[in-house]
Amino acid sequence: MDGVCEGSIGECSDPPPGKWVKLPPPNVVLQLEPKTFSQLKLPYSIILTTLLYCGEFVSAAILTASYSRSNDQFWLLLTLLFMLMPSIMDQLTLIFVHRDLTSDKPMVFCMHLLLLGPVIRCLEALLMYCQGGTEEEPYVTITRKKRLRKDSEIEVEQEVGHSLRRLVTHRNAFKRMAVIQAFLGSTPQLTLQLYISVVEQYIPPTRAVLMGICLVSVTYGALVCNVLAIQIKYDDYKIRLRPLAFICIILWRCLEISTRITILVLFGSVFKHYALAVGVANFLVLFFLPWIQFWRSSAELPDQVEKNFSRVGTVFVLCSITLLYAGINVFCWSAVQLRLTDRDLISKSQSWWYLVVYYVLRGVENSVLLILWYIFKTDVYEYICMPMLVVQLIVAYCLAIAFMLFFYQYFHPCRRLFRHNISDFLECACCNFRQVANSSLLEPPYEPGVRHSIV
């Protein structure tokens, strides 16, 4: 149990003699596979992200026009805000990842100014795929990745051509764009439109279409967020998720985000100003927390963000990353811990402590908001079985946590690299509890004036 007792779990005492003891993992054996040439694959993720972006932007614009005709200025401004803010962030992300700040591409910059950058980037990726074909080209670089097997690590070398390297850059940019679109645009937009529907008790077709596209975007963005977090943490390893892992992540994220949005909407329908205060307070705390940790460490700003950036540009990029980090954690666990003092800006260690603290605090907050809504509910919900709705939301959130634990225990692609896992934590906690209980039972009762024999 030595491996179980390391890290933030705490110290575990040795098990009693005769009990089963968990053996340490076998030694890692490195094997070198022959070089392989990476082939171009159809960029499905780029196409899907572009379609979701265009669909959400067009449907939000149509809904904004309908709010303008009905003189709903407040809903119009909020819908317009959640439509334009993520779109601008998407353009900046694509420019930053492709390193186009110093290049001479007037056509591409013009499309980005018109908020059509994802469209032109998607066409570029499709053109590269069609021109690349399946023929080998002179490689530009060689990548080395480790692949986990049952009891060994196999090091794989791949020759990467120029077309593939450019296509990989496009994929990385669109992955980050999908996360930004999901948590800075689709999730707030879905919350807003659901709140308007509850207040007005009516869902027009344009709003229903926008909510449906936002729901698909949130689901896909949450899935990409998890995959990106794993790839960033384990950059030296080739990550492959099984179909059951994808299903587990989708169920975990869908239940977690939908429960959070529903609770915020229900609470906001009764306490409008307090709901806004809760959302803003959550966002500000999560936004300034990494900066407070950076200030307390007395470290300097990382200079590896971009070599051509000034100090102001570096601060702007770090603020944008912190903005996305806070936007994700308002609705669900980001799966990473942001550290502005680190070179990679992300903590590579798997910290169960932050995971437990986040879900405990978020569960308490959701329960308090739900109880307050149930106590002060209005007549709007007279046709709904409210106790059943409360039970369903609590069960859905518990199921989300269960799927999360199930993923980390059985389907995480790098779970063999964990120094301790979920079952180890539970086993360690139960072991300590049993030892405390047994020691209390073995102690003789205290009776004054009576001498106890030790024989």
Q: Find, among 184, 179, 51, the residue nearest to 122 by Cα.
A: 51
Whole-number Å distance between alpha carbons of 127 and 161: 16
**How far apart, in Å, are the Cα atoms of 225 and each of 133, 317, 444?**
30, 19, 56
Confidence of residue 432 (pLDDT cuts 50, 70, 90): low
Task: Report which DSSP code applies to 138.
Answer: -
Q: What gap in Å lies between CA 194 and CA 198, rounded to an integer?
A: 6
Q: Which residues pair with 157 in a beta bridge?
A: 144
Per-residue confidence (pLDDT) for residue 137, from 0 to 100: 59
In angstroms, rounded to a whole number, what is the distance separating the alpha carbons of residues 232 and 169? 15
pLDDT at site 108: 86
Query: What's the pLDDT at 41?
Result: 82
Average pLDDT over residues 66-88: 93
Q: In 3D, which of 195, 204, 199, 248 has the Cα closest to residue 222?
A: 248
Average pLDDT for 116-123:
93
Give yes or no for residue 9 having a pLDDT over 60: no
Please check the confidence at residue 71 and state whether its pLDDT lies above 60: yes
Tell me which range, 64-68, 128-132, 228-232, is most confidently predicted by mean pLDDT: 64-68
Residue 177 pLDDT class (50, 70, 90 cuts) = very high
* Among the ranges given (2-11, 39-48, 55-64, 322-331), the one the predictor scored with the smallest mean pLDDT: 2-11
β-strands 153-161, 36-37: how paired? parallel
C-alpha 434 chain-centroid distance? 36
pTM score, two decimals? 0.82
pLDDT score of 284: 94
What is the per-residue pLDDT for 305? 61
pLDDT, tens only, 381-394:
666 778 888 899 99
Average pLDDT (137-145) is: 66
Q: What is the CB-side half-sphere exposure of residue 431 using CA atoms within 13 A?
A: 21
**Most trustworthy range by pLDDT among 7-16, 194-203, 376-385, 425-434:** 194-203
What does the pLDDT read at residue 145?
73
What pLDDT does 309 receive?
65
Which among 23-27, 160-164, 280-284 has the top mean pLDDT?
A: 280-284
CA distances from 292 to 296, 341, 343, 357 (A): 6, 11, 17, 18
Name which of 37-46, 325-334, 434-443 the model is least confident about. 434-443
Mean pLDDT of 326-343: 87
The predicted structure's pLDDT at residue 377 = 78
Within a 10 A sphere around the Cβ of 205, how many other Cβ atoms?
8
| DSSP H or E stretch at residue 266 | helix 243-270
E strand or H helix at 366: helix 352-375
pLDDT at 10: 37
5 pLDDT tier (thresholds 50, 70, 90) = very low
Cβ count within 10 A of residue 293: 15
Is residue 443 scored above 60 in pLDDT? no
Query: What is the SS3 assignment for 141?
Result: strand
User: Which of 13-22, 249-258, 286-295 shows the lowest mean pLDDT across its residues?
Assistant: 13-22
Least confident of 39-48, 147-156, 254-263, 419-428: 419-428
* 232 vs 213, higher pLDDT: 213
The pLDDT value recorded for residue 7 is: 38
Mean pLDDT calculated for residue range 57-63: 95
Q: Are 67 and 75 in contact (CB under 8 A)?
A: yes
Task: Specify the pairing of strand 30-32 against strand 153-161.
Answer: parallel
Radius of gyration of the chain from its Cα atoms, rounded to whole angstroms: 26
pLDDT category of residue 345 using cuts at 50, 70 and 90: confident
The pLDDT mean for the chain works out to 80
pLDDT for 23 equals 38
User: 333, 353, 450: which is closest to 403 by C-alpha?
Assistant: 333
User: Which pair of tokens denotes residue 394?
Assistant: 């609590």
Higher pLDDT, 103 or 12: 103
Identity (one letter) of the amino acid at 203? I
Percent with pLDDT over 90 in the chain:
42
pLDDT at residue 91 greater than cutoff 80: yes
Q: Is 353 in contact with 8 (CB distance < 8 Å)?
A: yes
d(CA 222, CA 438): 45
Summarised one tens digit per residue, pLDDT across range 201-224 is: 889 999 999 999 999 999 999 999
pLDDT beyond 90 at 54: yes
pLDDT tens track for 353-363: 888 899 999 99
Choose between 166 and 424: higher pLDDT. 166
Counted residue by residue, the chain has a size of: 455
